[in-house]
Structure 1
Amino acid sequence: MTKVLISDALGEDAVRILKARDIDVHFDPALGKDDAALREALKDAEGIAIRSATKMTAEMIAAAPKLKVIGRAGIGVDNIDIEAATAAGIAVMNTPFGNAVTTAEHTIAMMFSLARRIPQADASTRQSKWEKSKFMGRELFGKTLGLIGAGNIGSIVASRAQGLKMKVIAFDPFLTEEKAQEMGVELVSLNKLLTRADFISLHTPLNDKTRGILGREAFEVIRPGAFVINCARGGLIDEDALAEALDDGRVAGAALDVYETEPAKDHKLFSYENVVVTPHLGASTQEAQENVAVQIAEQIADYLLTGAVQNALNMPSVTAEEAPQLRPFINLGEKLGSLTGQLADGAVKGITVRFAGQVAKLKSAPIVSAVVSSVLKPQLATVNAVNALTLAKDRGVKITEEKTETSPNFGSTLSVRVETASGTLSVTGALFGGEPRIVRIDDVRLEASLSGCMLYLVNEDKPGFIAALGETLREADLNVATFNLGRRAEGGEALALIALDCPDGTPPLDAIRALPQVRQAAVLRF
């Protein structure tokens, strides 16, 4: 029989579902906390269902020669080494939508707690103080709620807030104007949101673009007396800057469910009377826990018994027969999508994938899914090749395929064109010995591999620029691995893709942008 481990507390429903599919279930909620016992149990397991306690490290994965699937009951997969799992041919699945309603409701509860000072009034009343006048509150009716991120959870919060007769505005680079209108939400810039919102709630993944999105600069322009709520990810708010804003009264109060470092103990913000804190309870309801447990059990059973894939984080939907031909082009599509996604400025309105040459004869869906997933990845942590098209549709992003069986310079080329509110960006790639290379950005020919840490530059093609750039990188102690150049015309605009040895650091963008010839500079990671 197929054997599946459940090494965290998932509940009896998950066990029942797996057993009903004739799967041998080894259920031990304490197993995830005992590395030696877990390693032994993994020797003959084909699947494992976990929460956050079990750590599926590279070492654990190496100890599981029969493992085919790791299922995470919940969204976060920080406790899974996805790279090691992918290398071992193990599918990694999660349940990205099982906690959405619960987290949205917690956000609304935190907003009520801030507006009516419920936790403070409760504590005071329990001490027999009866300080009625001290806890004067605010109505939510007619107030403006600003959402930073209007994806799955953010859209639910918007709907609930609209039911309270609040006005909802949103900043979301991946939300189109058409989708915002459908939601009844006004799409605004981050600066306008900060200056207009009475309540600001964060609903975005944590990445290089969103880390510290509410920092000192944001708090300097925030509407005086605004309230801040974070039930998304710790690190989205600069906690030192928030403390300063609370001290000088720019922020009237904050409600935090997540923190830069967890578990959060003896936190500096815990002493503020106008701060409501909870210990990462966003997904902690009986219904949500049951939902994700049932979902992951069904996904694991379907994958092991029928090969069906749902919410996989590291694999497209590809049959064993198609894989050898498709894999190189899927890899190329992921690289091109990642490049355009990291450079995209503003809401993505459309993504066009063009197949030219022999690749036009292959199954296109897995390649398109890989491209769309990579374009959206910088802003949508839960996106993958399985759910990318659905998430794009939900945001009103138009996906277009174009095919031609002729490719003048290569046997096959793949092109990705991304349309945003700010314009379009087009990139073309090909396979060199089976390895992905970029061969064109817009109308500029440029050949380069896409890997590791790279610096993307648009600059004036003038003498002395490369020397000045090299000196800037030298001062930052950054070594150049490869240097790839292209230009539109002599003395005109030039492009560069520079691979750097910077595993632990970030190139000095401020210093690079200060060079007189630089028009655009960005750090890319592949």
Structure 2
Amino acid sequence: MSAATPTPRDAGLPTPRTVAESSSKPSQSSSDKPTILHLGDDIRWNHELYEELGRKFNIARSYSMGREEFKTALKERKWGDFVGMYRPFWNTGGEMGRWDRELITLLPPSCKIYASAGAGFDWVDTKTLAEHGVVYCNSASACTESVADTAIFLLLATYRAFTWSFLAARSCEPTQFADANQNIAAATHNPNHSVLGIIGLGKIGFRLAQKARAFEMKIWYHDVVRIEEREKELGDVRWCEDLEELLSGSDCVVLATPFEGKVLLSRKEFGLFKKGARLVNIARGKLVDEEALMEALDEGRISSAGLDVHANEPNVNSKLAKRDNVMVLSHTAGASVESHVGFERLGMENLISYLGGGEALTPVNLQWLKKRG
């Protein structure tokens, strides 16, 4: 969402404008300031903060470069000894592809932080970045509200068979309409008093739990550690130390956890689901074995699914997409004007704080990063 981003209707949001419309443009040539490498499109929202960034740093631009061109530029030190990288949008500035060891080893030793838009970071080798002294900061907190709202939408769709109803109405065929109208009631349920099992009680999972309380759902969660502070805020909530416990007891399972290089739900795990349970994925598509999900849907082990993300994006599994008990979206859970305003702002705040001697605000790889000297 860059040049096509709509103007917000909420007067409380910043007004979008181009760099040329800003009152002043950050210096691009000052040699007495450290350099930040800005990847991708111009910012659109937080121009005053961008001007502050420009007063503190020399801002160099790569705009949109293919992988080979970007590698050559790094080898030739086109941007000198830059100290940080800033990528304010998830759909530009990533043309160089996966951030793996091949790219990371070309970074100058001076680079200490990479602040990027979006919640997911499966496209970047954060451990190798840490080994090279670079802290990686995502922007998950900026899209928390949007993603949690989408999870609620998908959750309701799975309980109430909204996909079936929508497709029948959209067909404009009276027989399909009548079939849905007359038969959906026997196959749908209200979510209240059922168990919502959340895998990953991070910011998004926690916000989802708060919203689900409005539907009188019982909250269970599984995470690598127990998060008692959030349990207290939520009230009556159950921590499942083992994934198996959560899967076997939940009426709807929501994936809200990062992808760490391996499938989380496959045949074994789907076999543990309560008969007729539901699945919602607003995390990463590669967490789910889609063939195993198809089998579970065919067997009725899973009664319905809501998928914002897919294993082979931008390709969607056609077998899943054609089912009337599966709602599919185009990885847009976090896509809102408010999210993008937050992505821009949070990335700059990370840079200003960390490079100013403070703490990174949203780091994800500190466990591998050596202490700052």
TM-score normalised to the size of structure 1?
A: 0.53
- Tell me, yes or no, if structure 1 residue 121 matches structure 2 residue 165: yes
- Tell me, yes or no, if structure 1 residue 185 matches structure 2 residue 237: yes
1:77-108 superposed Cα distances (whole Å, 9 cap, x missing partner): 34445455445544433334222222211111
- Give the structure with higher Rg (CA): 1
Give the deviation of 1:212 after TM superposition.
Answer: 4.0
Cα 1:266–1:194 change in 2 (3 A) is: closer
- Tell me, yes or no, if structure 1 residue 133 matches structure 2 residue 182: yes
The answer to whether the Cα contact below 8 Å between 1:43 and 1:65 also exists between their aligned partners in 2 is no
Cα 1:59–1:218 change in 2 (3 A) is: closer
- Tell me, yes or no, if structure 1 residue 200 matches structure 2 residue 237: no
- Tell me, yes or no, if structure 1 residue 165 matches structure 2 residue 197: no
- Tell me, yes or no, if structure 1 residue 13 matches structure 2 residue 33: no
Aligned-pair identity (%): 25
Residue 79 of structure 2 aligns with an amino acid whose one-letter code is L
**Please, what is the CA RMSD of the aligned residues?**
3.1
- Tell me, yes or no, if structure 1 residue 240 matches structure 2 residue 291: yes
Rounded Cα–Cα distance in structure 2 between residues aligned with 1:193 and 1:68: 39
Match of 2:329 in 1: 278
The answer to whether the Cα contact below 8 Å between 1:302 and 1:308 also exists between their aligned partners in 2 is yes
Cα 1:43–1:78 change in 2 (3 A) is: farther
1:154-179 superposed Cα distances (whole Å, 9 cap, x missing partner): 22111111111112222334115675
The within-5 A match list for 1:309-388 is 309-310=359-360, 311-312=362-363, 313-314=365-366, 323=373
Task: Provide the secondary structure at the position in 2 that maps to 1:308.
Answer: coil
Match of 1:287 in 2: 338
Q: Which stretch of structure 1 is more off in the superposition, 72-81 or 33-42? A: 33-42
Match of 2:146 in 1: 102
- Tell me, yes or no, if structure 1 residue 308 matches structure 2 residue 355: no
The answer to whether the Cα contact below 8 Å between 2:155 and 2:306 also exists between their aligned partners in 1 is yes
1:388-435 superposed Cα distances (whole Å, 9 cap, x missing partner): xxxxxxxxxxxxxxxxxxxxxxxxxxxxxxxxxxxxxxxxxxxxxxxx
The answer to whether the Cα contact below 8 Å between 2:36 and 2:58 also exists between their aligned partners in 1 is yes
Task: Tell me how many residue pairs correspond in the alignment.
Answer: 316
- Tell me, yes or no, if structure 1 residue 25 matches structure 2 residue 77: no
Residue 187 of structure 1 aligns with an amino acid whose one-letter code is W
Rounded Cα–Cα distance in structure 2 between residues aligned with 1:144 and 1:87: 41
- Tell me, yes or no, if structure 1 residue 296 matches structure 2 residue 354: no
Rounded Cα–Cα distance in structure 1 between residues aligned with 2:230 and 2:132: 40
Name stretches of at least 5 consecutive residues in structure 2 with no aligned partner.
Answer: 1-29
Give the deviation of 1:246 after TM superposition.
Answer: 0.8
Q: Which stretch of structure 1 is more off in the superposition, 213-222 or 230-239? A: 213-222
Cα 1:118–1:42 change in 2 (3 A) is: farther
Give the deviation of 1:295 after TM superposition.
Answer: 0.6
Match of 1:256 in 2: 307
The answer to whether the Cα contact below 8 Å between 1:39 and 1:63 also exists between their aligned partners in 2 is no
Residue 153 of structure 1 aligns with an amino acid whose one-letter code is I
Task: Provide the secondary structure at the position in 2 that maps to 1:49.
Answer: strand
Rounded Cα–Cα distance in structure 2 between residues aligned with 1:111 and 1:166: 11
Give the deviation of 1:269 after TM superposition.
Answer: 1.6
Residue 269 of structure 1 aligns with an amino acid whose one-letter code is L
Task: Provide the secondary structure at the position in 2 that maps to 1:97.
Answer: helix
Match of 2:85 in 1: 48
1:248-292 superposed Cα distances (whole Å, 9 cap, x missing partner): 222111111223332233443222221111122222122112112
Match of 2:16 in 1: none
The answer to whether the Cα contact below 8 Å between 2:37 and 2:86 also exists between their aligned partners in 1 is yes
Cα 1:277–1:37 change in 2 (3 A) is: same
The answer to whether the Cα contact below 8 Å between 1:11 and 1:290 also exists between their aligned partners in 2 is no
Match of 1:336 in 2: none
Cα 1:26–1:270 change in 2 (3 A) is: same
Rounded Cα–Cα distance in structure 1 between residues aligned with 2:322 and 2:263: 22
Which structure has the higher relative contact order (CA within 8 Å, separation 6+)? Answer: 2
Rounded Cα–Cα distance in structure 2 between residues aligned with 1:14 and 1:79: 26
Task: Provide the secondary structure at the position in 2 that maps to 1:128.
Answer: coil
Name stretches of at least 5 consecutive residues in structure 1 with no aligned partner.
Answer: 324-526
The answer to whether the Cα contact below 8 Å between 1:170 and 1:193 also exists between their aligned partners in 2 is yes
The answer to whether the Cα contact below 8 Å between 2:133 and 2:370 also exists between their aligned partners in 1 is no
Rounded Cα–Cα distance in structure 2 between residues aligned with 1:177 and 1:302: 29
Residue 326 of structure 2 aligns with an amino acid whose one-letter code is V
1:214-251 superposed Cα distances (whole Å, 9 cap, x missing partner): 33233334222211111112233222221111112221
Give the deviation of 1:59 after TM superposition.
Answer: 5.0
Rounded Cα–Cα distance in structure 1 between residues aligned with 2:359 and 2:72: 26
Higher strand share: 1
1:100-133 superposed Cα distances (whole Å, 9 cap, x missing partner): 2222111111111222333432332233233322
1:420-468 superposed Cα distances (whole Å, 9 cap, x missing partner): xxxxxxxxxxxxxxxxxxxxxxxxxxxxxxxxxxxxxxxxxxxxxxxxx
Match of 2:17 in 1: none
Task: Provide the secondary structure at the position in 1 that maps to 2:353.
Answer: helix
Task: Provide the secondary structure at the position in 2 that maps to 1:71.
Answer: strand
Match of 1:36 in 2: 69
Rounded Cα–Cα distance in structure 1 between residues aligned with 2:244 and 2:123: 35
Task: Provide the secondary structure at the position in 2 that maps to 1:159.
Answer: helix
Rounded Cα–Cα distance in structure 2 between residues aligned with 1:19 and 1:222: 52
Q: Which stretch of structure 1 is more off in the superposition, 284-293 or 174-183? A: 174-183
Rounded Cα–Cα distance in structure 1 between residues aligned with 2:246 and 2:145: 24
Task: Provide the secondary structure at the position in 2 that maps to 1:13.
Answer: coil
Picking from 265, 272, 276, the partner of 1:214 is 265
Task: Provide the secondary structure at the position in 1 that maps to 2:333.
Answer: coil
Residue 304 of structure 2 aligns with an amino acid whose one-letter code is G
Residue 311 of structure 2 aligns with an amino acid whose one-letter code is E
The answer to whether the Cα contact below 8 Å between 1:257 and 1:281 also exists between their aligned partners in 2 is yes
Give the deviation of 1:193 after TM superposition.
Answer: 3.1
The answer to whether the Cα contact below 8 Å between 1:69 and 1:92 also exists between their aligned partners in 2 is yes
Residue 138 of structure 2 aligns with an amino acid whose one-letter code is N
Q: Which stretch of structure 1 is more off in the superposition, 67-76 or 177-186? A: 177-186
